[in-house]
């Protein structure tokens, strides 16, 4: 498989619609029906595959016309992405469509389904389009050399030069790691795997001499222990980059303040000087970010945060009350509204500069 083959398949879909219109026909596409009633066992591959039943995507209806229009926009985006050898997550694709006017997606499930349509139509996988889902895995990548005690002896690893794109996997016992040397200016802990990948792909760790740590949602003890050690032993500032919702604020709190259920380990795990550079309610206004409506559970959690002594600061009171007033929440990847490089070229440099980190 080469890139040109993928592009030819994708552009062939648009060429087919163009030729239909050129002949004076209403454009339409037949695609396999994705239900349990249209699968059959393939003896050769020994897996279940789609059968012969198809459904039409046709511009005869308004709904069908919109779907084909959105497909054209997505193919155009994928073409550009493949040509510059970039990639994006399913979530970023959804937010990028904010710039497509009437072709924008109303929810991510819609854009996810369209990518599935393209996989079926082209027989290629979304990875071939350079589209990936959110990935799991608590990892480290950046200008840091470590020495680790393993079952097979001691090994030395540079977390930028000796690891793949995913980075160095954080072990359960972080105290088995010895910091050999580094060329880092700060540590950035990131909530989601997709955003971690965005920073790595854009060379954020190299440009800003940053150690990137993937939190994998609510961080494990080993991850929090590593952050504390990087901060206290190497004297590196730690910043935490999360979504803008109450659950993400609690992720930050577990890093900076220690979790409530493990308060007896706070001295060992918490990094009190850690700074929050996640999406703030005020950022929804400042950057005009796409947002979702707060759920009842979100509102309950925000009110609980207001009574949480760990958040008893003017900053958090102001931001939480603003969020309750806006009734909105937003994600890290909403910044993709302005392009895939915006988070590394604009948002993070602005926030890091405001906080005096860079």
Residue 222 pLDDT = 87
Same domain, 26 and 92: yes
On whether both 159 and 299 belong to a single domain, the answer is yes
Q: Tokens in use for 306?
A: 């207001």
Of 42-56, 94-108, 141-155, where does mean pLDDT reach its minimum? 42-56
Per-residue tokens: 8: 């030819």
315 vs 216 pLDDT, higher one: 315
Of the candidates 95, 168, 249, 287, the residue annotated as catalytic is 95
Instruction: Give Rg (Cα) of the chain.
Output: 23
This prediction has a pTM of 0.80
CA distance 62 to 59: 7
Residue 335, domain extent: 139-354
Q: Alpha helix (H) ranges present in the chain?
A: 3-22, 62-83, 90-96, 108-122, 193-201, 204-207, 221-234, 246-256, 266-269, 281-286, 296-306, 314-326, 342, 348-354
Residues 176 and 313 in one domain: yes
As beta bridge partners, residue 334 has: none
For residues 304 and 275, state if they share a domain.
yes
pLDDT single digits (tens) 252-306: 999 998 876 666 667 778 899 999 999 999 999 999 999 999 999 999 999 999 9
Specify the pLDDT at position 47. Answer: 54
Do 127 and 143 sit in the same domain of this protein? no
Judge if 79 and 190 occupy the same domain: no
Domain end (from 111, 132, 153): 132
Span 208-232, average pLDDT: 93
Find the CATH number of the domain harbouring 275: 3.40.1360.10
Residue 121, domain CATH:
1.10.10.10
- Per-residue pLDDT at 264: 66
Tell me the C-alpha distance between 132 and 126, whole Å.
Answer: 7
Q: Answer yes or no: do 111 and 146 share one domain.
A: no
Rounded distance, CA 26 to CA 235, Å?
A: 65
Q: What is the arithmetic mean of pLDDT over 184-212?
A: 95
- For residue 95, indicate whether it is catalytic: yes
Kindly give the pairing relationship between strand 238-241 and strand 275-276: parallel
Beta strands in 159-222 (DSSP E): 168-169, 177-182, 186-190, 210-214
The domain boundary, picked from 117, 132, 147, lies at: 132
Q: DSSP letters of 336-349?
A: GGG-TTHIIIIIHH
**What's the sign of the alpha-carbon dihedral 14, 19, 22, 28?**
negative
φ/ψ (deg, to 5) at 284: -60, -40
**Percent of the chain whose pLDDT exceeds 70:** 94
Q: What is the mean pLDDT of the chain?
A: 90
Mean pLDDT on 150-176: 84
Q: Can you give the pLDDT at residue 41?
A: 66
Asked if 60 contacts 66 with a C-beta cutoff of 8 angstroms, the reply is no
- If one counts the domains in the chain, the total is 2
Same domain for 177 and 60, yes or no, is: no
Nearest one of 197, 296, 173, 200 to 246, comparing CA atoms: 296
42-54 pLDDT, tens digit per residue, is 677 555 678 888 8
Integer angstrom CA distances of residue 292 from 27, 132, 245, 295, 328? 34, 22, 10, 9, 6
- In this structure, the answer to whether residues 179 and 298 fall within a common structural domain is yes
Which are the contacts of 291, defined by CB distance < 8 A and separation ≥ 6?
Answer: 284, 326, 328, 329, 330, 334
Q: What confidence category does residue 218 fall into, taking pLDDT thresholds of 50, 70 and 90?
A: confident
My answer on whether 151 and 52 are in the same domain is no
pLDDT of residue 140 exceeding 70: yes
Tell whether 234 and 309 lie within a shared domain: yes
- 296-306 and 246-256 helices, crossing angle to 10°: 40
Domain limit, last residue, from 68, 97, 132: 132
Is residue 309 scored above 90 in pLDDT? no
Q: Are 204 and 336 contained in the same domain?
A: yes
pLDDT value at position 105? 95
> 139 vs 36, 62, 80, 189, CA distance in Å?
38, 46, 30, 10
């Amino acid at each position: 498989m080469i890139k040109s083959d993928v592009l030819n398949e994708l552009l062939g879909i648009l060429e087919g619609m163009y030729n239909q219109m050129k002949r004076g026909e209403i454009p339409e596409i037949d695609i396999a029906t994705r239900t349990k009633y249209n699968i059959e066992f393939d003896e050769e591959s020994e897996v279940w595959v789609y059968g012969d039943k198809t459904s039409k995507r046709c511009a005869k209806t308004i709904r069908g016309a919109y779907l084909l229009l959105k497909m054209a926009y997505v193919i155009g985006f994928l073409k550009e992405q493949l040509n510059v050898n970039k990639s994006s997550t399913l979530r970023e694709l959804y937010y990028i469509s904010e710039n497509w006017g009437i072709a924008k997606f109303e929810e991510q499930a819609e854009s996810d389904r369209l990518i599935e349509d393209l996989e079926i139509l082209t027989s290629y996988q979304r990875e071939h389009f350079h589209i990936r889902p959110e990935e799991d895995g608590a990892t480290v990548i950046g200008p840091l050399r470590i020495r680790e005690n393993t079952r097979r002896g001691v090994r030395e690893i540079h977390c930028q030069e000796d690891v793949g794109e995913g980075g160095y996997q954080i072990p359960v016992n972080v105290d088995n790691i010895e910091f050999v040397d580094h060329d880092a200016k700060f540590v950035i802990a990131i909530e989601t795997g997709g955003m971690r990948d965005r920073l790595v792909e854009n060379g954020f760790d190299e440009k800003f001499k940053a150690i990137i740590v993937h939190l994998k949602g609510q961080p494990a003890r080993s991850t929090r222990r590593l952050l504390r050690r990087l901060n206290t032993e190497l004297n590196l500032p730690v910043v935490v980059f999360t979504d803008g919702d109450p659950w993400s604020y609690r992720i930050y709190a577990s890093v900076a303040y220690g979790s409530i259920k493990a308060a007896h380990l706070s001295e060992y795990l918490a990094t009190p000087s850690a700074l929050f550079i996640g999406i703030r309610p005020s950022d929804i206004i400042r950057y005009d970010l796409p947002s979702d409506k707060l759920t009842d559970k979100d509102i309950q959690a925000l009110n609980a945060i207001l009574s949480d002594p760990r958040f008893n600061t003017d900053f958090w009171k102001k931001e939480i009350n603003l969020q309750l007033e806006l009734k909105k929440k937003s994600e890290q990847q909403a910044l993709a509204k302005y392009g895939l490089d915006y988070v590394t070229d604009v948002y993070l440099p602005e926030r890091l500069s405001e906080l005096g980190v860079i």
